[in-house]
Structure formats: C-alpha cells, structure tokens
Amino acid sequence: MALIATLPLIVVLLLLVFRHMAADRAGIVGWFLAAGIAAIFFETPARVIALASLSGLTASLPISLVVMFSILQMTYMQEVGAIDRISALIKGVARDERAAQIIIINIGFGTLLTSVGLLPFSILPPIMLSLGFTPFVAIALPTLGFDALCSYAILAIPLVVFAHMTGINIDAAGAIFANFAPILTVCVALAMLYLVGGFRMMRRGLLPAVITGVVAGAAAMVCCRLGMTILTGIVAGGGIICAMLIYVKAKGGKVYESSVQADRGRSASRNMPLVAAVSPWLILMVASALANTPCLPFFERFFERLSLPITIIPGSPEYLRPFWQAYFWILVSTLLSFPILRPTRAQLRMTLSKWMKRAPRPALAAAIYFAIAYIYNHSGKGANWQLAAESHSMIAVLADFCASAFGRFYSFTSPLLGLIGGFISGSETSAVAMLTNLHLAVGEKIGLSGVILGAASAVGAGLATVMCPAKLQNSAASIDRIGMEGSVMRKTIAISVVITLVCALITLIWTL
C-alpha cells in the first residue's frame, strides 16, 4: 500500500525528469492519480476529495496570487524602463570584489526581493549577464541564492503555513528554522562561488561566505525573539548587503564604481531617477514592514481581525488574510507607483498582454500541488470527515512504512524527502503542505519531534529551488536562453543534494 500511496508523486517526478513535462501539467496528472487512489484504495467519497482539493486551492492563494502579481509588477517595471535603471546601479557595486558582489546581488538583494514576494530568478539573470558573468552562471546563481533563506520568502509564508499545520505560533516556528540558517547560508554562498570560479574562488570568498551566514543566522534568531519573524527576509537581506559593503570598504576596495555603466545604463540613469525606478519596491517594503511591526496596530488588524476564514472542510478553516498577504501589497505598490513612473497607455497595454501570457501557468503550478497535498491529508475520511480506521489513510500508510524502514534515523531522511517534495511541487510552501502531516505522524510513532522533522523537511524543500525545472526555465527565459536550463540542472542537482545532506546531518545530530 505504501507504493500505491506514493504513486502520484513518483509519476510526477518521472514526468518532470524524463518527459520534461511542465510542472503544471505534471501536477494535473498527479492530482488525478491521487484522487483515483484515494477513492479506490482508501474508500474516500468523491465529495470529500472535491472539497479537500478546493480547500487546498484556497490555501494556495498566498503563493499562486503572489506568482501572478509579482510577474505583473516585474513586467510593468521592464516596460517602463525601471529595471534598466536598477541594473545600471548594480553594475557598479563592489566591482573589484567579485565574491562580495556575487553575495550582495544573489543572497542580499535576492533575499530582499523574495521576502516581499518578488522573483529574483526573473529579475537578477539579466543583471548578472550584464556584469560579464556567463549565461550558465546568470541562470544558476539567482536560483541558488533563493535557497539560502527560502523559508522566509513572501512574508515568511512557508513558515505561516508550517505553523498553521503544526499548531505552533509563527515565532516558535521561526526559532526552529533559525537554527538551520547560519550553516546552510554559508553552504549556499560557497556553492555560488564554486560555480563561478571553482575551489579557488571558494577559498578567496570563504570569509565573505562566513560573514553572510553569521548575519543571516543572527537576523533569523533576533527577529523571532522580537516577534518579527515575518520580517526576517527584509532584515537579513539588508543586513547581508550592509555587511558585504563594510567588508569591501575594510579591504580598501571601492563600494561603487560609476564608470562601468554601459551606454544603455547611462541612458537609463539620465532618463529616470533611481528613487523613481525602485519606487514600487520601496512602497512594497515600507508597507510590508508597517503591516508586520508588532508595536503597530496593522498586524493585529490585518492578520487576526481581518483573517476572513473560509470553512470548506468542517473544523478546518482556511484563513484568507487578503489585506496582510504579500500579493495584496504587490498589487497596491504597483498601482501607487503609476504617478511616479508615469507609464504610457502603450506600455500598460504591453504589460497586460505579456502578463496574461506569462502568469496563468506558473500560478496553476503553484496551486495544483496544494490540492494534491490536501487529498493526501484527508484520504480515508468518510462523509462525516472522520477516518474509518486510524491507519486507513495515505498519510498513515506512508508513516507506518517510514517508521518501520528508518526508525530513529528517519530524522536524517526528512530533509531529503523535503528536497524531493520541493522538486516535485516547485515550492517550499507546497512541499510543507504535502509532507508536514507525514512528519508529524512518523515523529509520533518513533518518539521524535515531528515539528523538528517537518522543519528540516521544509528547509530541504527550499534547497530544491536550484534544481526546480520551472524556476530554472523562468531564469533562462529572462535572458533568452530557454533550453539551457537542462545543462544548469545537471550541475546544480549535485550541489542541492550535498547541501541537503548537510541539513540532514544537522537534523540527525539535533534529534539523537
């Protein structure tokens, strides 16, 4: 039965790897298989399957709508020339200190972007290419940098979902995840340097990598202690940038070199002030900070009082929180920037046209795996939403198998299962939804903390970004190198697995 229960995930994995099927289409196949297995082998009524899937789609809205609106904002900023202006600035930052420059752009700036719901693997590759990096590096590094603090992306939505599923508060969850941040951030930084210049670049950049890990870990730990876990990405990203600039200055290097701007960059600098170019992001970051600062009334109002729960599955409401979610503020910041960037009607028409072509399928891919996860979580339940027998569900079957197969060493495998879940679903949040209940069940059977097992799995899922087909394809498309993502993936899979093994070792030591 364990093989039958895992069949949807196995089929999706095979479709992604060997048939090169798009993530959304593979997910639809997986959903039909999961629904069929739940109905036939676990006697789940069609109504339960349908409502579980609908509840999963509802739970996915913070991710799927972020994907849609971040693509909208990115397309809009490209059309009005804001991205060209930002690129012109970044080209001159830490030009003489390559390791620091790589970390500033791909971990510091990348973390800032992801913390408020933007997509660094769409924004950063053109900038990396303009800095003289190879197309391979321009595709790989922004997606790898995304891995470092992925759990705190999109106003820490992976953590919010994890906290909801485990029943702990967001700051308690943040304290667990913070333990992984220092070492894994150093690993990510060193991996990026290796892709650029091999072991020689790793040795030269060891100190900046260690500094980056210390800053990221300190930011995560301090934010959760201050009740500001949701703002960790903003604090960590800004802290890493400042730390690297201080490092460059301490070595006697130039923090900024304006002479490296190309003609297009100079034109962008003349035509648009920098403050105007980054205005959508400034508005977004300020709004996100105000909405999540504990001493201000907005968080309690938007997160708690206006949570707008929808009960699709009895006793298990899904909280929409539309005025708190990152997608709401992405849309608001885009609209509020109109008087500053002054887009023409032609630019707006082109933005909407490109958006309608780019956004729907990535948004569907983000949503469909939530539907699969909720089928797993509610399989075996009857019309009264109660299990006919405790072991008669897909999650229970998998938990029994894992507990008997691995015992207490299951803690070593949980990050690896997360890596597979992140690869399949293309999202840490989707993997959290898919696997957390399994880890809680296994933890109860083998006498380990299911919360720690689930957190380690979530971190492993975040490390799958650099080998995720959809994200690599997105990165390649931004520099017109579609088709190159396969060669990138062949090298980045090994890196992702190695860093996940480090996470697995940390988890094993922690739980022994």
Cβ neighbourhood burial of 270 (10 Å; 0-12, 13-18, 19+): exposed
Most confident segment among 5-19, 61-75, 328-342, 347-361: 328-342
Q: What confidence tens digit (pLDDT) does each residue in 48-86 have?
A: 999 999 998 998 888 788 878 888 888 898 889 888 888
Task: Give the pLDDT band (50/70/90) at residue 442.
Answer: confident
What's the pLDDT score for residue 46? 93
What 3-state class would DSSP assign to 475?
A: helix
Mean pLDDT of 187-210: 92
What's the pLDDT score for residue 327? 87
What's the pLDDT score for residue 207? 94
Question: Across-strand partners of 256?
Answer: 93
Strand residue runs (E) in 468-508:
none
Sign of CA dihedral 178, 183, 184, 190: positive
Mean pLDDT of 399-412: 81
Mean pLDDT of 329-344: 92
In order of 76, 201, 202, 259, the CA distances from 98 in angstroms are 30, 9, 11, 17
What's the pLDDT score for residue 50? 94
DSSP state of 93: B
What's the pLDDT score for residue 491? 82
Kindly report which listed range (191-195, 243-247, 397-401) carries the lowest average pLDDT score: 397-401
Q: Which residue has the tokens 């034109």?
A: 267
**Tokens of residue 488, six digits:** 């990138």
Average of per-residue pLDDT values in the chain? 84
Q: Which residues contact 237 (CB under 8 A, 6 or more apart)?
A: 107, 108, 109, 110, 111, 112, 113, 115, 149
Helix axes 360-378, 428-446, angle to 10 degrees: 20
Pick from 210, 152, 213: nearest CA to 182: 213
What's the pLDDT score for residue 479? 72
Q: What confidence tens digit (pLDDT) does each residue in 142-165 have?
A: 888 877 788 888 778 888 888 888
* Cβ atoms of 359 and 72 closer than 8 Å: yes
Mean pLDDT of 167-187: 90
Pick from 219, 267, 299, 306: nearest CA to 81: 267
DSSP assignment of 410-447: HHHHHHHHHHHHHHHHS-HHHHHHHHHHHHHHHHHHHT
* Cβ atoms of 430 and 366 closer than 8 Å: yes
* Cβ atoms of 151 and 458 closer than 8 Å: yes
Task: Give the pLDDT band (50/70/90) at residue 411.
Answer: confident
Pick from 342, 337, 339: nearest CA to 279: 337
How far is the C-alpha of 22 from the C-alpha of 241, rounded, in Å? 35
Percent with pLDDT over 90 in the chain: 21
Pick from 373, 479, 352, 498: nearest CA to 426: 373
Q: Which residues contact 345 (CB under 8 A, 6 or more apart)?
A: none
Q: In the chain, how long is the greatest CA-to-CA distance?
A: 71
Question: Across-strand partners of 316?
Answer: 313
Mean pLDDT of 225-231: 86
Mean pLDDT of 212-240: 90
* Cβ atoms of 373 and 359 closer than 8 Å: no
- Between these two residues, 469 and 276, which has the higher pLDDT value? 276
What's the pLDDT score for residue 266? 52
What's the pLDDT score for residue 38? 92
What's the pLDDT score for residue 391? 66
Helices (H), 44-152: 46-59, 61-80, 82-90, 98-103, 110-115, 120-130, 135-147
| 3-state DSSP percent of the chain in helix, strand and coil, to 5 | 80, 5, 20
What's the pLDDT score for residue 258? 65
What's the pLDDT score for residue 390? 65
What's the pLDDT score for residue 240? 93
* Cβ atoms of 455 and 161 closer than 8 Å: no
- Between these two residues, 469 and 418, which has the higher pLDDT value? 418
